[in-house]
């Protein structure tokens, strides 16, 4: 073979890219940011013969290898790209390290069909670097970030957690006025290491980033139903902004909560995983509702599949930055899902289970460290990874006793979890808390088409449902299936109510699937068994409402009744509602009693919302609008995505 033409062509390519690179300029302003969510503008010029696949790589830390980007944006997403010049502005999250931006040439002939992201788009290649920017970073001494609250189980306390880059001694100072933060508590500090993760990508050079130091403090001796102001940090490391919350009251006559599952987070760039753009709308509407409540305590409940980081650690940072506007003012409670925990190396894997690789090698470590829920539940991992925390717990809030379980760890009779759930449900003071709301991730009931969890659901119905029925649990909430579905009061697939067609019957729990807060990989409903290939999905009698719209639940309980409303993200309005009396009787709902009943039921809450809608959190809305305007993913569909396998 004559090598001369080949070598000549290779030399030409080398000279071409070298010459092109020397003509390209790239700049970033500003050079220093103050906090997460601040925007940078990247400008470039001098790209000759632009390709639609030329792309901008986003790197943190700046010393990362070319393949270890955290995200990318195609230059062709900007209007001026064909001129070889352009600019783009995006918000950045503080990853406790600097950022750098690099431009690469990528052509269609270099696409590797087998090398794709989670959304089945080819991952860009880094063979031809055209330009790289100087480093930019966040200003030190600006205080901690990722601030979020949680209840401790004691009504005169509130937990606050946050992240710092160095773990130096930090505090929470608080008081009843903005200028009177005279009470101070010291925080304890924890962190996890790369070696604590159980597998890739979580412990790989692509997925791992330093998580910083996680601080945990408890504000003590709080008066009931008072507005408290607080800030976190230190004189040396800086102090956060001043936030406020309303303390809880165990004797309160009402309860307000916002509940959902499977929300995830959004990024202003493409990355290795599909992210959840709709999550920003969920936070936007909940912010409106919290603002509307004024000085009334409330809480948020996120029942599994929290950030969808799945081993790409910076997505946890995006998640906590995104929820801070709400999690810093009301307690944010969670339970574990498959995308936080599941991995083949985990110790509990019965042969009937569908536990797989959904956790991305995290094995519950970030989840266990970044949250601190009431109680002390934990399960060993059998590896270097520390024991998994925040698995099952309960607390009272006003007129409701909230119970959380883990569907990812052993819940069968004989397990620690089963013993806890049995004892807890049998010990509820129904005079103080006439309503019991039970929550977990994988649903006991669903009419979606997925079959992998059928053996698990069978055991949940066999072993857990009798506990729920025997102890008169009023409401059971699940995630995992990324749709909304409300069932009739159920026991072993049989509908029941205190009054049904004039007959006295047993009160059963109302089961609702609420995994519609952000994740858009959707299962379809189950087809007819005798015509499985036809696109006809009958709705069984037990399923009283099914919805495919993103949204969340709004709960309001008094001593007499609990009202649960399904709020849609596209308009912020209520699309389904059910009302349960303390006796367990389902007396009305928006399906069977019509719009008039739904309107009357909603009146207990809607006046708060109407007032708050006038205010609408201008600063937060500015952040969301700016964030979303720069988060356009041209290669991704904007609609709901059907799943391609049974995995949810």
> Can you give the pLDDT at residue 385?
82
Q: What are phi and psi of 265, to 5 degrees?
A: -150, 165
Structure tokens at 415: 């397990």
Residue 342 pLDDT > 50: yes
For the residues 447-465, what does the mean pLDDT come to? 92
What distances in angstroms separate CA 286 from CA 175, 429, 551, one per listed residue?
Answer: 26, 30, 10
> Can you give the pLDDT at residue 448?
87
Query: Beta strand pairing status for 332-335 and 299-303?
Result: parallel
User: Rounded to an integer, what distance in angstroms lies between the CA atom of residue 551 and that of residue 282?
Assistant: 6
Domain ranges of the chain: 25-137, 145-587
Query: Beta strand pairing status for 227-234 and 400-404?
Result: unpaired
Give percent above pLDDT 90 in the chain. 73
Residue 441 pLDDT > 90: yes
pLDDT band per the 50, 70, 90 thresholds, residue 611: very low
For the residues 419-446, what does the mean pLDDT come to? 97
> Can you give the pLDDT at residue 623?
43
- Per the model's pLDDT, the better-predicted residue between 140 and 641 turns out to be 140
- The model's pTM: 0.89
Q: What number of residues does the chain have?
A: 648
For the residues 239-267, what does the mean pLDDT come to? 95
For the residues 27-35, what does the mean pLDDT come to? 97
pLDDT band per the 50, 70, 90 thresholds, residue 23: confident
Residue 353 pLDDT > 90: no
Residue 436 pLDDT > 80: yes
Each residue's pLDDT tens digit, 221-237: 999 999 999 999 999 99
Residue 131 pLDDT > 90: yes
| Sign (positive or negative) of CA dihedral 335, 339, 340, 341 | positive
Residue 428 pLDDT > 80: yes
Each residue's pLDDT tens digit, 543-591: 999 998 999 999 999 999 999 999 999 999 999 999 999 888 887 655 4
> Can you give the pLDDT at residue 504?
56
What distances in angstroms separate CA 246 from CA 157, 224, 272, 621, one per listed residue?
Answer: 11, 8, 39, 22
Residue 321 pLDDT > 50: yes
For the residues 115-131, what does the mean pLDDT come to? 89
Query: DSSP state, 645?
Result: S
Structure tokens at 43: 């400008």
For the residues 33-46, what does the mean pLDDT come to? 97
Element (H, E) at 553: strand 551-558
Whether omega for the bond prior to residue 525 falls within 30 degrees of 0, making it cis, is no
> Can you give the pLDDT at residue 590?
56
pLDDT band per the 50, 70, 90 thresholds, residue 5: very low
- Per the model's pLDDT, the better-predicted residue between 522 and 207 turns out to be 207
> Can you give the pLDDT at residue 614?
44
Average pLDDT of the chain?
A: 87
- Per the model's pLDDT, the better-predicted residue between 531 and 320 turns out to be 320
Give percent above pLDDT 70 in the chain. 85
Q: Which residues pair with 45 in a beta bridge?
A: 25
**By mean pLDDT, which of 243-252, 289-298, 379-388 is the weakest?**
379-388
> Can you give the pLDDT at residue 498?
55
> Can you give the pLDDT at residue 122?
87
> Can you give the pLDDT at residue 56?
98
> Can you give the pLDDT at residue 644?
33
Q: Is 266 helix (H, G, I), strand (E, B) or coil?
A: coil
For the residues 481-485, what does the mean pLDDT come to? 95
Q: Which residues pair with 104 in a beta bridge?
A: 55, 129
> Can you give the pLDDT at residue 382?
79
> Can you give the pLDDT at residue 50?
94
Residue pair 91/85 in contact (Cβ under 8 Å)? The answer is: no
Topology (CATH level 3) of domain 145-587: Purple Acid Phosphatase; chain A, domain 2 (3.60.21)
For the residues 85-111, what does the mean pLDDT come to? 95
Strand order in the sheet with 254-260: 332-335, 299-303, 254-260, 551-558, 561-568, 574-581, 586-589
Listed in sequence order, the residues at least 6 apart from 516 whose beta carbon sits closer than 8 Å to its beta carbon are 260, 261, 262, 482, 483, 484, 547, 548, 549, 550, 551, 552
> Can you give the pLDDT at residue 551?
97
> Can you give the pLDDT at residue 22?
59
> Can you give the pLDDT at residue 331?
98
Residue 361 pLDDT > 60: yes
> Can you give the pLDDT at residue 530?
77
- Per the model's pLDDT, the better-predicted residue between 615 and 563 turns out to be 563
Residue 528 pLDDT > 80: no
Residue 247 pLDDT > 80: yes
User: Rounded to an integer, what distance in angstroms lies between the CA atom of residue 204 and that of residue 208?
Assistant: 6
Output the CATH code of domain 25-137.
2.60.40.1930
> Can you give the pLDDT at residue 643?
34
CA angle 366–367–369, rounded 5-degree value: 65
Residue 107 pLDDT > 50: yes
> Can you give the pLDDT at residue 118?
80
> Can you give the pLDDT at residue 641?
35
**By mean pLDDT, which of 55-64, 284-293, 343-352, 477-486 is the weakest?**
343-352
Query: DSSP state, 424?
Result: H
């Amino acid at each position: 073979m004559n090598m001369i033409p080949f070598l000549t062509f290779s030399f030409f390519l080398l000279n071409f890219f070298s010459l092109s690179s020397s003509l390209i300029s790239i700049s970033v302003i500003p050079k220093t940011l103050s906090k997460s969510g601040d925007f940078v503008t990247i400008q470039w010029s001098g790209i000759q013969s632009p390709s639609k696949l030329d792309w901008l790589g986003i790197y943190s830390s700046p010393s990362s290898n070319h393949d270890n980007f955290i995200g990318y944006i195609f230059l062709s997403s900007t209007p001026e790209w064909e001129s070889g010049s352009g600019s783009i502005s995006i918000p950045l999250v503080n990853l406790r390290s600097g950022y750098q931006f690099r431009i690469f040439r990528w052509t269609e002939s270099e696409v590797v069909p087998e090398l794709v992201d989670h959304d089945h788009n080819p991952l860009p290649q880094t063979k031809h670097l055209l330009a790289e920017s100087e480093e930019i970073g966040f200003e030190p001494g600006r205080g901690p970030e990722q601030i979020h609250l949680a209840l401790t189980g004691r009504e005169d306390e509130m937990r606050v957690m946050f992240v710092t880059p160095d773990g130096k001694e930090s505090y929470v100072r608080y008081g009843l006025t903005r200028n009177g933060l005279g009470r101070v508590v010291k925080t304890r500090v924890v962190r996890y290491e790369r070696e604590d993760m159980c597998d890739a990508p979580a412990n790989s050079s692509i997925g791992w980033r330093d998580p910083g130091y996680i601080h945990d403090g408890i504000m003590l001796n709080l008066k009931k139903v008072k507005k408290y102001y607080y800030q976190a940090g230190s004189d040396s490391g800086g102090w956060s902004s001043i936030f406020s919350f309303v303390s809880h009251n165990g004797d309160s006559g009402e309860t307000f909560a916002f509940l959902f599952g499977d929300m995830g987070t959004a990024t202003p760039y493409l990355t290795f995983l599909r992210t959840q753009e709709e999550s920003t709308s969920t936070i936007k509407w909940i912010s409106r509702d919290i603002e509307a409540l004024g000085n009334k305590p409330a809480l948020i409940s996120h029942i599994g599949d929290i950030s969808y980081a799945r081993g790409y650690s910076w997505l946890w940072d995006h998640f906590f930055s995104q929820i801070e506007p709400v999690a810093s003012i009301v307690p944010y409670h969670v339970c574990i899902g498959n995308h936080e925990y599941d991995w083949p190396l985990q110790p509990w894997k019965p042969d009937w289970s569908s536990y797989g690789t959904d956790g991305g090698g995290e094995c519950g470590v970030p989840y266990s460290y970044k949250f601190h829920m009431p109680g002390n539940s934990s399960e060993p991992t059998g590896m270097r990874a520390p024991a998994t925390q925040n698995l099952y717990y309960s607390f009272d809030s006003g007129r409701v006793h909230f119970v959380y379980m883990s569907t990812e760890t052993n819940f069968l009779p004989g397990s620690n979890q089963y013993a806890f759930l049995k004892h807890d449900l049998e010990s509820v003071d129904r005079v103080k808390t006439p309503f019991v709301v039970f929550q977990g991730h994988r649903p006991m009931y669903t009419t979606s088409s997925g079959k992998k969890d059928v053996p698990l659901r069978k055991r949940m119905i066999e072993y857990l449902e009798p506990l729920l029925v025997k102890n008169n649990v009023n409401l059971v909430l699940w995630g995992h299936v990324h749709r909304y579905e409300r069932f009739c009061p159920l026991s072993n697939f049989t509908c029941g109510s205190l009054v049904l067609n004039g007959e006295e019957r047993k009160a059963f729990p109302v089961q609702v699937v609420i995994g519609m807060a952000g994740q858009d990989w959707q299962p379809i409903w189950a087809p007819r068994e005798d015509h499985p290939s036809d696109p006809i999905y009958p709705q069984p009698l037990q399923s009283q409402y099914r919805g495919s719209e993103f949204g969340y639940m709004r709960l309001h309980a008094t001593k007499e009744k609990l009202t649960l409303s399904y709020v849609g993200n596209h308009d912020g309005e209520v699309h389904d509602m059910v009302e349960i009396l303390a006796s367990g009787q389902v007396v009305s709902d928006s399906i069977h009693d019509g719009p008039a009943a739904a309107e009357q039921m909603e009146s207990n809450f809607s006046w708060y919302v109407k007032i708050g809608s006038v205010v609408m959190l201008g600063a937060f809305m500015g952040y969301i609008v700016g964030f979303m305007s720069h988060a356009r993913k041209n290669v991704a569909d904007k609609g709901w995505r059907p799943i391609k396998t049974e995995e949810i």
